Structure 1
Amino acid sequence: MRVASPAPQQRVFVARLVGTAVFDPLGDAVGYVHDVVVLFDARNLPRAIGLVVEVTGRRRVFVPLTRVTSISAGAVITTGLLNIRRFQLRSVETLVAGELFERTVTFKDGSGEGIVKDVAIEQQRNGDWHVTALAVVRKNTIGLFRRGHSVVVDPFEVAGLEDQLARQGAKSLISSFAGLKPADIADLVRDLPEERRIEVAHEMSDEALADVLEELGEEDRVGIVQALEPRRAADVLDVMQPDDAADLVSELPTEVASQLLELMEPEEAADVRRLLAYEDNTAGGLMTTEPVILPPDATVANLLAHVRRQDVPPALAAMAYVVRPPLEVPTGKLLGVVHIQRALREPPQTLVGTILDTSVEPLEVDAGIGTITRLLATYNLTGMPVVDEAGRLLGAVSVDDVLDHLLPEDWRDADDEMTDDEMDRWADG
């Protein structure tokens, strides 16, 4: 039996609330609304318990609705200080925008199905907030949605809203990622419930998923890869940077890793196997086998065409490595490097062999991370070549990979930011 709620005092539609600025009692902006968290109760209307607020640095924190004093057009006013601990969704909680929008529901009167487009929450006389209305677009008799044919219904008039199998269309959620950097998408994916996270991964392109996996923590990315069909997982590994693919493969159970390596393209698998043979915190373990490699008779125009490619990370695009043929690693003898800044000052027809920087000392494969860090810092470099005993180029270490290994293993998932003192203590230890 439904328990009646007290008369509502204020109605807010969540689609309009998302993106609204959040202010502290002094009027200073602290962030903006990212989502609303609700709890389902079989006997009562779903209860909204708090807001997910995105603060500085794209960090999302939880603000209980009991701390919200006002919600109006363009402003949410809170009381007191915010808890800056990173928001973690509990299994009993549901995100309105992240999970309920685009969810398929069935009308209990037998009139068919619809898609949830918006959710209204209302504050009751006792101060609690409840979900009291849904904006739903109806399907027609042949299963298509009629543009503009939407209705506002009571949550008790539909079934499937709280059903964990009646998920929001993953494609719709992915479309909201447009324009975001992979690290920011990874942050959004990390906040999703595990089951939802896997659904989104299934719908992403191989390239987009590869970029996101490179930005996730070990537990999250291993979980996603193991949930994928093996052939698909191998395809994603194929388009990852070899060093990132090697890191991920090394985190998987041995039998899973072996299966995926067999399913990968032979050339890509060979690169990953080669990297897995090196110790983690050495130049060999940190390097990528796909830096920008050119022969000495290539022109500046050729170099610029290579570094413009979308698949070349910024740290690797800052420098090209000039070698004798062959150009595939292990290459012929390394002749030197060309800095992109120097190349930009030369005419397009200039041969890269004439503007070499031979002062950058290459690394041996067993060079430790301490040595690598000091050299990068001393000479203000974003990357360094790695060679074998014969001086052949094996790959390059980039500054972003060094930072990944210098920071604590769980830095992507840490609940709190490290203070400067904590970072100094960690680095010294």
Structure 2
Amino acid sequence: MGSVLAMSGAPSRVFIARLAGVAVFDPAGDQVGRVRDVVVALRLAPRPPRVLGLVVEVSSRRTVFLPITRVTLIEADAVVFDGRLNVRRFSKRESETLVIAEMLDRTVRFRDDGEAVSVVDVAMEPTRTRDWLISKVAVRRRSGRGLRKRGETIIVDWDAVEGFSVVEHGQAATALIAAFEGMKAADLANIVHELPEKRRAEVALALDDERLADILEELPEDDQVEILGKLGVHRAARVVEAMGPDDAADLLGGLPTEQREQLLTLMEPQGAAPVRRLLTYAENSAGGLMTTDPVIVAPDATVAEALALIRRPDLNPALAAQVYVCRPPTATPTGRYLGTVHFQKLLREPPPTLVAGILDTELEPLRPTMTLEEVAMFLATYNLVAGAVVDENGHLLGAVTIDDVLDHLLPLDWRESLMDAGAEESADPEEEALRGKM
């Protein structure tokens, strides 16, 4: 189904789900962003929808509208446009439909026999007048009929099915999620933020607990609370437990006391314990900012063992910058904190070397009651991306990372501002004309 299309060449079919994440280039060959969706205008049957343009994510997670009339080339791994791009933030209009976000996974029916099928992809084609129309629909059968098998995927003409204009409750999200598989959590969070509330809830229900937890950590608080409320308390407790303890504490700290306690009670005791500890500290203190899961080893660990721990692909880069050495137990709160080994030091030493012999013991650790400003000055003074938090008895409680400090130094609504940036840019006359044309 992957197609290559030169706009001036013969008509070619492009399956839209395959455009998700494809790089967008200007005429000079510089990448300006990636395709996130395709905007269409539904029309009265049997007229096929008209393609209006692409939703492109550019810098700072901003999504903008690229009129289809400005696209000059579509290939399997690249989209090229004529260089004119209005940076005003994209906002979907009432008369418009997003193909990937709203049309995939829909239940539609064959016009001839009423059989219900699920949409897995939609194809667009250019016409002689250079308009683009939705021409084909790839659907998956839910039951076997005749010689056809249950689960079979077939491609049919647009007018062979009906039901795209009907509001569907409980719409699946399998194909939508598959279209963005492999995307970083922060980028997928931006897409989820832009979805209508109904579709946002359906996507959340379809994601597994770990993936949803990663996305929640990147969303504004209002979105977090809204999604959590759609999950049911048992699923919500599992998702919160899958979040980092510091992010979970931030989220639960904004909930009513009764709801917060209900979720903590439903969590596994070992998952709830560090979150409860974090909730005892003031939000803008070192204790409230820290994560309780830094990289910790015993003094008899070797350099090779420490390096293996910081190589974990799921580890926050700031946490991977240093290893904390403590006497057992090595789970927080630990035994006596002995010092820190920076990753550059680990790289310089022979693998069999014991970490106890290469400790940095000159740096005073952070105390849990230190303020946000004191923590920021500490990291800035010593050019650190993370710092150990130790109590008055010498036990390591956790570590504060630079990303958590920045998160709290920025305005409370910085995530919303980042995702909604550019809303005040001037309108594009060509875009207005295209999107006003039905």
SS at match of 1:62: strand
SS at match of 1:412: helix
Q: From 221, 225, 231, give the equivalent of 2:224.
A: 221
Residue of structure 1 in register with 2:64 after alignment? 61
Residue of structure 1 in register with 2:250 after alignment? 247
Provide closer, same or farther for how the CA distance between residues 179 and 280 of structure 1 changes in structure 2, counting only shifts above 3 A. same
Provide closer, same or farther for how the CA distance between residues 327 and 70 of structure 1 changes in structure 2, counting only shifts above 3 A. closer
> Is the deviation greater in 36-45 or in 234-243?
36-45
Cα distance in 2, alignment partners of residues 151 and 144 from structure 1:
16
Residues 385 and 396, structure 1, Cα contact 8 Å, conserved in 2: yes
1:16-27 paired onto structure 2 within 5 Å: none
Q: From 324, 345, 352, give the equivalent of 1:349.
A: 352
Superposition deviation, residue 380 in structure 1: 1.6
Superposition deviation, residue 397 in structure 1: 0.6
Cα distance in 1, alignment partners of residues 74 and 388 from structure 2:
55
Residue of structure 2 in register with 1:423 after alignment? none
The amino acid of 1:263's aligned partner reads L
The amino acid of 2:145's aligned partner reads T
The amino acid of 1:294's aligned partner reads V
- Higher relative CO (Cα under 8 Å, sequence separation at least 6) belongs to 2
Residue of structure 1 in register with 2:156 after alignment? 151
Q: From 85, 89, 111, give the equivalent of 1:86.
A: 89
Residues 137 and 149, structure 1, Cα contact 8 Å, conserved in 2: yes
Cα distance in 2, alignment partners of residues 10 and 368 from structure 1:
63
The amino acid of 1:342's aligned partner reads K
Provide closer, same or farther for how the CA distance between residues 223 and 368 of structure 1 changes in structure 2, counting only shifts above 3 A. same
Residue of structure 2 in register with 1:412 after alignment? 415
The amino acid of 2:358's aligned partner reads I
Residue of structure 2 in register with 1:380 after alignment? 383
Residues 134 and 158, structure 2, Cα contact 8 Å, conserved in 1: no
Superposition deviation, residue 46 in structure 1: 3.8
Provide closer, same or farther for how the CA distance between residues 353 and 26 of structure 1 changes in structure 2, counting only shifts above 3 A. closer
SS at match of 1:201: helix
Q: From 160, 164, 178, give the equivalent of 2:163.
A: 160
Residues 73 and 80, structure 2, Cα contact 8 Å, conserved in 1: yes
Q: From 204, 209, 226, give the equivalent of 2:207.
A: 204
Residue of structure 1 in register with 2:363 after alignment? 360
The amino acid of 2:37's aligned partner reads D
Cα distance in 1, alignment partners of residues 210 and 72 from structure 2:
40
Superposition deviation, residue 36 in structure 1: 1.5
Cα distance in 1, alignment partners of residues 31 and 395 from structure 2:
55
Cα distance in 2, alignment partners of residues 71 and 328 from structure 1:
57
1:292-339 CA-partner distances (Å, limit 9, x unpaired): 222222222332233233443221122121223333332232211111
Q: From 110, 119, 122, give the equivalent of 1:118.
A: 122
Residues 40 and 49, structure 2, Cα contact 8 Å, conserved in 1: yes
Residue of structure 1 in register with 2:40 after alignment? 38
Provide closer, same or farther for how the CA distance between residues 394 and 22 of structure 1 changes in structure 2, counting only shifts above 3 A. closer
Cα distance in 2, alignment partners of residues 404 and 355 from structure 1:
32
Cα distance in 1, alignment partners of residues 34 and 328 from structure 2:
54
Residues 286 and 367, structure 2, Cα contact 8 Å, conserved in 1: yes
Superposition deviation, residue 356 in structure 1: 0.8
Cα distance in 2, alignment partners of residues 315 and 38 from structure 1:
42
Residues 12 and 120, structure 1, Cα contact 8 Å, conserved in 2: yes
Superposition deviation, residue 97 in structure 1: 2.4
Residue of structure 1 in register with 2:295 after alignment? 292
Cα distance in 2, alignment partners of residues 347 and 23 from structure 1:
46
1:88-135 CA-partner distances (Å, limit 9, x unpaired): 44565321123223433101211623343323365696x876545535
Residue of structure 1 in register with 2:145 after alignment? 141
1:330-384 CA-partner distances (Å, limit 9, x unpaired): 2232211111221222233322111110122111112112221122122121211
Count, aligned residues: 404
> Is the deviation greater in 28-37 or in 128-137?
128-137
The amino acid of 1:150's aligned partner reads I
The amino acid of 2:189's aligned partner reads A
Cα distance in 2, alignment partners of residues 253 and 94 from structure 1:
36
Unaligned segments of structure 2, at least 5 residues? 1-9, 424-438
Superposition RMSD on alpha carbons, in Å? 3.2
TM-score in terms of structure 2 length: 0.81
Residues 315 and 383, structure 1, Cα contact 8 Å, conserved in 2: yes
The amino acid of 1:323's aligned partner reads C
Provide closer, same or farther for how the CA distance between residues 301 and 374 of structure 1 changes in structure 2, counting only shifts above 3 A. same
Cα distance in 2, alignment partners of residues 209 and 28 from structure 1:
33
Unaligned segments of structure 1, at least 5 residues? 1-8, 419-429
Provide closer, same or farther for how the CA distance between residues 382 and 407 of structure 1 changes in structure 2, counting only shifts above 3 A. same
Say whether 1:396 aligns with 2:399.
yes
Provide closer, same or farther for how the CA distance between residues 138 and 389 of structure 1 changes in structure 2, counting only shifts above 3 A. closer
TM-score in terms of structure 1 length: 0.82
Provide closer, same or farther for how the CA distance between residues 257 and 99 of structure 1 changes in structure 2, counting only shifts above 3 A. same
Cα distance in 1, alignment partners of residues 349 and 24 from structure 2:
50
Residues 335 and 358, structure 1, Cα contact 8 Å, conserved in 2: yes
> % of aligned pairs identical?
51
Cα distance in 1, alignment partners of residues 260 and 328 from structure 2:
33
Residues 38 and 49, structure 1, Cα contact 8 Å, conserved in 2: yes
